Chain A
Amino acid sequence: MNATPTGPVTDIAAGTGTVAGTGTLAHVAETAVPEHHRGGERPHPARAGLGLLLRIVLCLVFGLPLLFMVVSSFKPDLQIFDDLGSWKAFLPTGDISADNYTGVFDRVPFAQFMMNSVIITVVTVVLGILVNSMAAFALARIGFKGGGIVLGIILATLIVPFETLALPLLWWANQLPFLGPDGFSQGWLDTYQVQIIPFIANAFSIFLFYQYFDSIPKELDEAAKVDGAGWFRIYRSIVMPLSGPAIATVAILTFLPMWNQYLWPLMSVQTEELRPVMVGIDYFKQLNTSWGQIMAYATMITAPVLILFIAFQRSFINSMASSGVKG
């Protein structure tokens, strides 16, 4: 647990070097190291069969609850309960309709919630990539006196979970002044910026970029400098274009927690128009609970993440694996 952790991140950083292709980590998702069944020795058919059965059972354990959620979102409440006792719970049978979905739109300002979540997430991801990569560039490629200490402090903060700071931060956010388009205001509670700005700079993102930038040959900088390029040009035209995998990793590791954020918006935002989707689910727990509508809402707020996950499966899994050095 020193400043130079071993493991996946070092692998992405060292593995790709100059090529903006896929990192070594791609192997996590891509190749399987045959572990127990090496050396030509094939597993006993009965054992292989048992293994497959186990894998399938586990698939049901992890997959069925989510399938149940999606399927139930199309059923009326009464039928959801009736179907619980049989396989029908996981099948779109009976009285299938989109009523629950229209019900959601009647009950909460869903489009508004969705837009808020998209704004908050996208802005944080984009600014996060910019701000953290610049800081990492300064530390990894330019270097300056005291840079090592700065990096040390950044790494040391990695062990502090957000939850320990949430309450003092809430108080602090309420004291902060803000100069916005409407002029000067006091207190950040109930705003967009309170959901965005505290999460832009991220120690772990800086660390990921740092690792990656450090692995890109320094000769590139020298050559560019000879060519008359300044540091900003080197950052923009050389280092960043070569850092695709690191950017993807940071983007995913920012996107997921931002989209799924619950504790912070729950406390920092009380105005309905500013709420993100996750907090919106609380509306359904009050007064005449309709489980069909809850499932419809849950399906709709999960869909964007699931679609992105299925589309960029490999990057998602690799990014999560690369967070394996945190701490």
Chain B
Amino acid sequence: MTTITAAENPSAITPPERKPVKGSRSSTTTALLMLVPAAVLLITFLLIPIGLTFGLAFTNARLISPRPAEFIGTDNFVRLFQDETFWKSLRNTIVFAVVIVPLQSACALGLALLVNVKMRGVNFFRTVYFLPVVTSMVVVSMLWLFMYQKNGLINQVLLKFGIEGPDWLGDPHTALLAIILMSAWQAMGFHMVIWLSGLQTISADLYEAADLDGAGTWQKFRYVTWPGLQATRTFILITITISAFALFTQVNIMTQGGPLDSTSTLVLMAVRTGFQQQQTGYASAISLAFFVLVLAVTLVNRYFTRDKDVVR
């Protein structure tokens, strides 16, 4: 703040030529200098790898190999489309996303509504609901791996209610569901917070007006809250979907894709081929499929939200 007071002192005024103007050469030089570190890093570790995903997918590149990669056309894709594990992984990835998106976003909205009230101790509840979010997925996966055991904590709790739980992770029918439930549990607090910040952008006047009109709780939710959350909804939809597609850690720690590939995912498959089997070219083809999936979701979503903006 001292600079402002100094500026009021006439003796401190410098000759005009020392004052850089926006767009002047020295300003541009400084701007570029300050941009260079980030630009070099982003190009090297983001833009080039994006390009490589496309480029390597058409080669037989291997992770560690004395021979340079050769162009092999669409061989990787031909192999990919004939690979049964790929279709299973793609199916699992999509099922995971399709189930977890509504489940997690709806539950998170419920949580947000529950903690969006003036009440003593509400901060405590928020903090507890948020705890799993700051806990690493690695830790959460190990913990739930134990809890999901045949006679583990979850089945013991279910037994108290007279339910005999399945062998969650050992049964191909329940393994993916088990991973979905755990993932929703871990990330719900994050989306609760985002819903919450969306809820708080809705003007209190609207609720007062609704009260005057004699609207009930459900009507207020339907006609004030829900429309007011449109932007938040779009965002939550996109983030949950994309992070669902990226499913890896849980699966790698808990099931390694099993049993019978019932929990294999695109990223797990990419890591298997590209890292363990060192087939970078093939892994890039899988990554590309994943990338196309993400892009499709983003574009579809963008299309629908643009449409809605016009209607509104």
Given A227-B3, A230-B30, A298-B142, A174 and B63 touching (CB < 8 A)? Answer: yes
Q: Report whether over half of chain A's contact residues are helix, strand or loop; otherwise say mixed.
A: helix
Q: Which residue of A lies closest to B182 (CB)?
A: A65
Q: Are B20's CB and A305's CB within 8 A?
A: no
Q: Are A226's CB and B38's CB within 8 A?
A: no
Chain B residues, CB < 8 A from A142: 22, 27-28, 30-31, 34
Given A39-B211, A131-B41, A51 and B280 touching (CB < 8 A)? Answer: no
Q: Are B53's CB and A168's CB within 8 A?
A: yes
Q: Are B116's CB and A32's CB within 8 A?
A: yes
Chain B nearest Cβ from A292, distance in angstroms: 11
Shortest 3 CB-CB distances between A and B: which pairs? A201-B41, A135-B38, A167-B274
Chain A nearest Cβ from B219, distance in angstroms: 11
Q: Does B294 contact A (CB under 8 A)?
A: yes
Chain A residues, CB < 8 A from B295: 159
The size bracket of the interface on B is 35 or more
State in angstroms the CA–CA spacing of A199 and B238 once bound together: 23
Chain A nearest Cβ from B213, distance in angstroms: 11
Q: Looking at B116, B142, B220, B221, which has the most chain A CB atoms within 10 Å of its CB?
A: B142
**Out of B50, B124, B129, which one reaches A160, CB within 8 Å?**
B50
**Out of B130, B137, B283, which one reaches A317, CB within 8 Å?**
B130
Name 25 interchain pairs, CB-CB below 8 A, sorted by A.
A1-B234, A11-B201, A37-B118, A58-B111, A65-B153, A69-B139, A131-B38, A135-B39, A138-B35, A142-B28, A145-B28, A150-B35, A160-B46, A161-B245, A164-B53, A168-B283, A171-B274, A206-B38, A230-B30, A262-B252, A267-B271, A298-B139, A302-B136, A305-B135, A324-B194
Chain A nearest Cβ from B107, distance in angstroms: 10
* Binary contact track A23-64/B, C-beta < 8 Å → 1, others 0: 001011101111111110100000000010011001101110
Chain A residues, CB < 8 A from B225: 35
Q: Does B49 contact A (CB under 8 A)?
A: yes
Given A143-B31, A161-B246, A305 and B235 touching (CB < 8 A)? Answer: no
Q: Does B300 contact A (CB under 8 A)?
A: no
Q: Which residue of A lies closest to B285 (CB)?
A: A167
Q: Are A167's CB and B238's CB within 8 A?
A: no
Q: Are A174's CB and B64's CB within 8 A?
A: yes
Chain A nearest Cβ from B6, distance in angstroms: 5
Given A58-B114, A201-B41, A225-B19, A29 and B7 touching (CB < 8 A)? Answer: no
Q: Are B287's CB and A226's CB within 8 A?
A: no
Q: Looking at B31, B152, B235, which has the most chain A CB atoms within 10 Å of its CB?
A: B31
* Binary contact track A203-229/B, C-beta < 8 Å → 1, others 0: 100100000000000001001111111
Q: Which residue of B lies closest to A289 (CB)?
A: B146
**Out of A69, A162, A197, A225, which one reaches B143, CB within 8 Å?**
A69
State the B residues within 8 Å of A (CB).
3-4, 6-7, 12-14, 18-20, 22-23, 27-28, 30-35, 37-39, 41-42, 44-50, 52-53, 56, 61, 63-64, 111, 113-119, 122-139, 142-144, 146-147, 151-153, 156, 159, 185, 188-190, 193-194, 196-202, 204, 207-208, 211-212, 217, 220-221, 225, 231-232, 234-235, 238-239, 242-243, 245-246, 248-249, 252-253, 267, 270-271, 274-275, 280, 283-284, 286-288, 290-291, 294-295, 298, 302, 305
**Out of A223, A231, A310, which one reaches B27, CB within 8 Å?**
A231
Chain B nearest Cβ from A46, distance in angstroms: 14
Q: Are A163's CB and B267's CB within 8 A?
A: yes
Chain A residues, CB < 8 A from B35: 134-135, 138-139, 150
Q: Does A327 contact B (CB under 8 A)?
A: yes
State in angstroms the CA–CA spacing of A285 and B305 once bound together: 45
Given A134-B38, A167-B274, A143 and B156 touching (CB < 8 A)? Answer: no
Given A65-B143, A168-B56, A201-B37, A7 and B231 touching (CB < 8 A)? Answer: yes
* Binary contact track A291-327/B, C-beta < 8 Å → 1, others 0: 1001100100110011001100100110011001111
Q: Are B49's CB and A68's CB within 8 A?
A: no
Q: Looking at B128, B204, B217, which has the most chain A CB atoms within 10 Å of its CB?
A: B128
Chain B residues, CB < 8 A from A224: 3, 7
Assuming A39-B208, A171-B52, A256-B134, what are 9 further A-B pairs, CB within 8 angstroms? A28-B197, A160-B294, A163-B290, A164-B246, A168-B52, A227-B6, A231-B27, A260-B138, A262-B249
